[in-house]
Amino acid sequence: MMPWTEIFNFTPLQGLAGGILLGLGAALLLLSNGRIAGFSGIISNLTNSDRSWRLAFLAGALISGTVLHRVLDLPAADSQLPASGLIIAGLLVGFGTSLGNGCTSGHGICGLSRFSLRSLVAVMVFMVSAMVTVYFMRHM
């Protein structure tokens, strides 16, 4: 028996199309700049001397994200959490990705694509810990 009761809100075509764009973007950065397209590392290393490509990358994501958000008329990405919850979550995501050297993009998309054992372990650990966290928050 599957653990879930019902498939819900599934948008496979949009997911696949968006995923292909993510893969293309990551491939371009590796081919041209020789860099891993990991958001957490790019943000947390903005204070390094070699910052212009990092700023350009983040500006690109911010520009296309903001424009598409408007064009597609999407609702603001609000959370149902109180401010304290957002602060705790943000601190954990920042501290954790810095300690663990990556997030969903760096480990998930780039690391798995180059068969990194560290990234494979990372993806399994953050998927399980996130799923367990959601289970506690929603069902306990």
Partner 1 sequence: MMINIVTALISGLLMGAGLVISGMTSPDKVLGFLDITGFWDPTLMLVMGGAILVNLPATWLILKRQQPANAEHFHLPERTTVDKPLVLGTALFGIGWGIAGICPGPAVTSLLSGSADIILFFLAMIAGFRLHKATSLLAR
Angle (CA) 51-57-62 rounded to 5° is 120
CB of 2 to partner 1, least distance (A): 8
Q: What one-character-per-residue DSSP string does 23-84 give?
A: HHHHHHHHHHH-----HHHHHHTTTSS--HHHHHHHHHHHHHHHHHHHHTTPPP---SS-HH
Which one, 49 or 74, has the nearer CB to partner 1? Answer: 74
**Which is nearer to partner 1, 8 or 49 (by Cβ)?**
8
Measured from the CB atom, the residue of 49 and 72 that comes closer to partner 1 is 72
Q: What's the min distance (Å) between Cβ of 63 and partner 1?
A: 6
Residue 49 CB, shortest distance to partner 1, in Å, is: 14
Q: How far is the CB of 87 from partner 1 (least distance, A)?
A: 4
Nearer to partner 1, 17 or 49 (CB): 17
